[in-house]
Copies of this chain bind each other. A is one copy, B any other.
């Protein structure tokens, strides 16, 4: 079994590192706070005696290999340590630290794996500062070019490549250098299902499709007091219509579609000026690719209607688009078997969140293990999973790794 205290202590230490002035965890990719988190993680990899590699997009690998098994394709465990704005401490970090914990446990036990076992922390999984999300694993899987990613411009105008160099994590390995035999990721569910059903372990068999768009609406700035309602071209009002359209459509269907407008900006943003411009993002998801396409088409048609009805110009930029992914059934079955071995309830389920496993599934058999999230809350400092649940998840990971690397 894993060393519960070591694992939990590290989760807390990483979660406490680099808080902002308001005490919030805002470890955006390639920021100063990210550097602090990376330094902590690399220090632990070093203590554990692992070989450390950093690739050109800042993905960090800790590799446990021997002369005997170095010729074999490694088993890779991964996740991320970047966070959203005002985040909880478990999202991503749990999986990375549990991966390291499993390796240290196996090493200490005298277990001699048939192949290298490695742990990865992928760059910019959250996609909050730079898009797309799951960026580091997407590059690793060959889904996007290294140069494209290094040139990505952040919400703060920064350039990812420059930021990685600045924080000392522009490594020299070519992305994708490590070709995994299989990929495993342990993560908090970030949703309400496991808690609601009282099941401690999720065997994640698929992951929904994700569509991210940035919409810019251009109207005409004018005086709030003198401009009759009938003569307005109000970009802010048009943006509000898009939000209510998406919300009502997703809510009315008895499909699992979810739609979110998480960011919004008005220009000139003055109390007595009709907004000339509204810029916002749309996050649309569905486990079914056909339905996701239908939702995207419905939004596009609505925007066309809206542009005419509200006398505004609308432009759309695609920020990320990932099809739903089906994980490797053999690994899903190994997870189920391990849970049963431990006498723990287990449920096959869909992931509502995007994960690095989604990208790695393009190049290796992959699957994920979920543990419950209290109240289904995530991307929020109130994100919580009980210690015992965290430790149970790590022990399931230990068993599956043992099985795949024996």
Contacts and interface: CB of A to CB of B under 8 A. Distances in A.
Contacts of A376: 222, 226-227, 231
A62 interface: no
A264 B283 contact: no
A272 B226 contact: no
A116 interface: no
Nearest to A260: B224
- Interchain residue pairs A-B with the least CB separation, the first 9: A191-B226, A226-B352, A240-B243, A224-B260, A240-B240, A85-B268, A221-B380, A223-B378, A225-B352
Contacts of A212: 271
A69 to B, nearest CB: 37
Interface in A226-243: 226-231, 234, 236-237, 239-241, 243
A101 interface: no
A34 interface: no
Interface stretch (A46-54, A125-133, A141-149, A389-397): A125-133
Copies of this chain held together in the complex? 2
A258 interface: yes
A60 interface: no
Interface in A254-287: 256-266, 268-276, 278, 281, 283, 285
A251 B230 contact: yes
Contact of A189 (B226, B239, B264): B226
Interface residues of A, number: 73
Contacts of A239: 240
A4 interface: no
Contact of A236 (B231, B264, B266): B264
Given A236-B243, A272-B283, A258 B190 contact: no
Contact of A228 (B192, B275, B281): B192
Contacts of A8: none
Nearest to A264: B266
A264 B240 CA distance: 11
A235 to B, nearest CB: 11
A223 B379 contact: yes
A263 to B, nearest CB: 5
A211 to B, nearest CB: 11
A149 to B, nearest CB: 17
A72 interface: no
A273 B85 contact: yes
Given A283-B225, A285-B225, A126 B272 contact: yes
A314 interface: no
Given A223-B353, A225-B354, A262-B273, 12 more contacts: A126-B270, A127-B272, A128-B273, A131-B271, A212-B271, A225-B352, A228-B256, A229-B258, A241-B244, A264-B264, A270-B379, A271-B319
A11 interface: no
A259 B274 CA distance: 10
Given A229-B258, A236-B261, A223 B352 contact: yes
A86 interface: yes
B379 A258 contact: no
A282 to B, nearest CB: 9
A317 to B, nearest CB: 12
